[in-house]
């Protein structure tokens, strides 16, 4: 599991004075950096080097978040297939779970535009962050 | 069905030169305005008047989108329950479907913090945008 | 002058129920598309083709904007130098000016990382959108 | 001076593989939280309690920022007037200055919609973060 701390900003809060539902999507993306780093250690964004494509995201909003307190994002791997894998993420504020999300990415060859099996070396590193019983 | 046209901006495109996966979430939120208007005609954001809360969103990225061409967002109602309903949305660019998404909202009383049945008058208006066979 | 119409979305409005001050920056960037198109007609984002770099932006917030009504962005050229030029932009909602902004861009060679004089053909097209007395 | 550390996310980087020019505006807003806290310690967003309004922001992009490395935001007070004050902010990545910005805010009474002098107690706290020679 990776922990990432983020700080709500003034404009993240919408007219209902809660963090807007788009914001956790942004925080979760940021919190995926350590997972991306397993696949592309130098964050090289060329088609030759970058090898991940997002195919699905989902978010369950189970609580409200507010301005004035940091939020902890917890990121896990919940499923590993042949070429795809699922990240499971949670946003916690003030000891309460506010958002649960999943993101499915595919190990992808951008030059030839096709999915590629996840190598064992990467699979092992992903498994260090595995959480049981989610997907 | 509601149609909303949006224009990708320079910063919507990420390092892979495709529209970043957060952006459709933003466009879909914007495209929900006409649906929100059915519930809160004057867009009054007070707890006394606003009566919708988002409980879930999901996005399937089935194609890529690019800078330089407008995107059409199509918004439907795919399910209506007692107090909750599901919006189904698609993003089309250059004649191709790029993203499919669902958003579940609950008709909600913010003052008393509880869900409220959807009145028949609103139910009828939602039904005008109903799409069969999605949810 | 270019006119671009944008629609405030729910999450653009912050806790004070006004459009947050980051949002006009986003709208102005989107409204610069037709100006970018003069420099890079096919929006090719490669270092060989893209030839503009932003060096400065500024925003004066002179009025409030709200959810529920479209906003018109008016974009002009207010100054053309040897290799740089200034865009002047305004956001209008409900007949009232809400934001005035300037953005300075440089005609730039990304491969050799140096500024490049603006060719006369482009200069002429920019002049069609010139506004007197701003810069 | 306040120091705030932020992490570029995948989608913050635009098609030119640099952090898009909207992003520092977002980071600077987040980094203003400790300054806002001086004015509204509990971050209460009601018109009765919140007492700041943004009237101007400006950004000079003097260097590029990239994915894969944290960014330090340094926030200062550069000017204090009767009811308004100026924040000066810098974004540093990898030991290099990338963005300099100013934001002018007014101490404001939202109920009566008028500016209000900054009290001495707040003025003293702001002075702790004062930087000479900027504005």
Contact D36, A10 (CB under 8 A): yes
Q: Which residues pair with D77 in a beta bridge?
A: D87, D130
Contacts of D59 in chain B (CB under 8 A): none
Find, among D31, D26, D33, D19, the residue nearest to D96 by Cα. Answer: D19
pLDDT at position A37, please? 95
Give the mean model confidence (pLDDT) for residues C111-135: 95
In this structure, what token pair is assigned to residue D53?
A: 């309004």
Query: C97-116: b or e for each residue (b if 16 or more CB lie within 10 Å)?
Result: ebbbbbbbbbbbebeeeebe
The maximal CA–CA distance of chain B, rounded, in angstroms, is 47
Q: How confident is the model at residue B62 (pLDDT cuts 50, 70, 90)?
A: very high
Q: Which chains touch C (3 or more CB pairs under 8 A)?
A: A, B, D
What is the DSSP annotation of D47-82?
A: TTT--EEEEEEEEEE-S---TTS-EEEEEEEEEE-S
CA dist., res. B110 & res. C129, Å (int): 48
Cα dist from D129 to B104, C111, D13, D86, D126, whole Å: 45, 41, 31, 11, 6
Query: B36-47: b or e for each residue (b if 16 or more CB lie within 10 Å)?
Result: bebbbeebebee
Find, among B58, B50, B62, the residue nearest to B96 by Cα. Answer: B62
Segment D24-58, tens digit of pLDDT: 999 999 999 999 999 999 999 999 999 999 999 99
- The secondary structure of residue A29, as a DSSP letter, is H
What percent of chain A clears pLDDT 90, i.e. is strictly above it? 99
State residue C61 phi and psi, 5-degree precision.
-90, 105
At residue C135, does pLDDT exceed 90? no
Cβ A11–C17 below 8 Å, yes or no? no
CA dist., res. B30 & res. B134, Å (int): 21
Contact C56, C103 (CB under 8 A): yes
What is the DSSP annotation of D77-112?
A: EEEE-SSEEEEEEEEEETTEEEEEEEEEEEEEETTT
CA dist., res. B129 & res. B127, Å (int): 5
What is the DSSP annotation of B15-52?
A: TTSSB-TTHHHHHHHHHTHHHHHHH-TT---STTT--E
Of A10, A14, A17, which has the smallest distance from its Cβ to C11's Cβ?
A14
At residue C46, does pLDDT exceed 90? yes
C67: left (phi over 0), alpha (psi -120 to 50) or beta: beta
pLDDT at position C121, please? 97
Q: Which of B59, B86, B101, B102 would you mutate first to test chain A, the one with the most A CBs within 10 A?
A: B59
Contacts with A69 (C-beta within 8 Å, 6 or more apart), sequence order? A8, A93, A94
pLDDT at position B98, please? 98
Residues of C with CB under 8 A from a CB of A: 10-11, 13-15, 17, 20-23, 67
pLDDT at position B93, please? 98
ipTM of the complex: 0.95
Q: How confident is the model at residue D12 (pLDDT cuts 50, 70, 90)?
A: very high
Q: Which of B8, B9, B15 would you mutate first to test chain D, the one with the most D CBs within 10 A?
A: B15
In this structure, what token pair is assigned to residue D47?
A: 């018109």
Q: Which chains touch D (3 or more CB pairs under 8 A)?
A: A, B, C
At residue A51, does pLDDT exceed 90? yes
CA dist., res. C99 & res. C71, Å (int): 11
Q: How confident is the model at residue A18 (pLDDT cuts 50, 70, 90)?
A: very high
Q: How confident is the model at residue B33 (pLDDT cuts 50, 70, 90)?
A: very high
Strand pairing category for C52-61 and C2-6? unpaired
Of C10, C30, C43, which has the smallest distance from its Cβ to B68's Cβ?
C43
Q: How confident is the model at residue C62 (pLDDT cuts 50, 70, 90)?
A: very high
Average pLDDT value over all residues in chain C: 96
Contact D59, D21 (CB under 8 A): yes
Q: Which domains, from first to last, does chain A contain?
A: 2-127 (3.10.129.10)
pLDDT at position B26, please? 97
Contacts of C17 in chain B (CB under 8 A): 45
Contacts of D25 in chain C (CB under 8 A): 22, 25, 57
C10: left (phi over 0), alpha (psi -120 to 50) or beta: alpha
Of C10, C21, C22, which has the smallest distance from its Cβ to A14's Cβ?
C10
Give the mean model confidence (pLDDT) for residues C27-40: 96
In this structure, what token pair is assigned to residue D25?
A: 């505006």
Alpha carbons within 13 angstroms on the beta-carbon side of residue B60 total 7
Q: Which of D67, D75, D87, D93 would you mutate first to test chain A, the one with the most A CBs within 10 A?
A: D67
pLDDT at position A40, please? 96
Give the mean model confidence (pLDDT) for residues A49-66: 97
At residue B68, does pLDDT exceed 80? yes
Contacts with A25 (C-beta within 8 Å, 6 or more apart), sequence order? A57, A59, A101, B22, B25, B57
Q: How confident is the model at residue A48 (pLDDT cuts 50, 70, 90)?
A: very high
In this structure, what token pair is assigned to residue D74?
A: 């340094």
pLDDT at position C97, please? 98
pLDDT at position A134, please? 94
Residues of A with CB under 8 A from a CB of D: 4, 7-11, 13, 17, 26, 29-30, 32-33, 36-37, 42-43, 45, 66-68
pLDDT at position C60, please? 98
Segment D67-115, tens digit of pLDDT: 999 999 999 999 999 999 999 999 999 999 999 999 999 999 999 999 9
Give the mean model confidence (pLDDT) for residues D10-21: 95
CA dist., res. A90 & res. A97, Å (int): 7
pLDDT at position A80, please? 97
At residue A135, does pLDDT exceed 90? no
State residue A44 phi and psi, 5-degree precision.
-70, 120
pLDDT at position D127, please? 97
3-class DSSP state for residue D122?
helix
Contact A15, B50 (CB under 8 A): yes
Residues constituting chain A = 135
Give the mean model confidence (pLDDT) for residues B98-106: 98
pLDDT at position B122, please? 97
pLDDT at position B125, please? 97
Find, among C50, C113, C118, the residue nearest to C84 by Cα. Answer: C118
- The secondary structure of residue D10, as a DSSP letter, is G
Segment A92-107, tens digit of pLDDT: 999 999 999 999 999 9
Of A21, A50, A110, which has the smallest distance from its Cβ to B57's Cβ?
A21
């Amino acid at each position: 599991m990776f922990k990432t701390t983020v700080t709500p900003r003034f404009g993240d809060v919408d007219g209902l004075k809660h963090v807007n539902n788009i914001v956790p999507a942004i925080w979760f993306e940021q919190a995926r950096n350590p997972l991306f780093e397993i696949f592309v250690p130098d964050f090289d964004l060329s088609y030759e080097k970058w090898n991940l494509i997002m195919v699905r995201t989902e978010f369950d909003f189970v609580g409200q978040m507010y301005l004035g307190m940091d939020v902890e994002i917890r990121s896990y791997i919940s499923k590993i297939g042949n070429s795809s894998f699922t990240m499971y993420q949670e946003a916690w504020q003030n000891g309460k779970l506010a958002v649960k999300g999943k993101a499915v990415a595919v190990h992808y060859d951008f030059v030839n535009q096709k999915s590629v099996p996840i190598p064992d070396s990467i699979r092992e590193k992903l498994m260090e962050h595995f959480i049981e019983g989610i997907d």
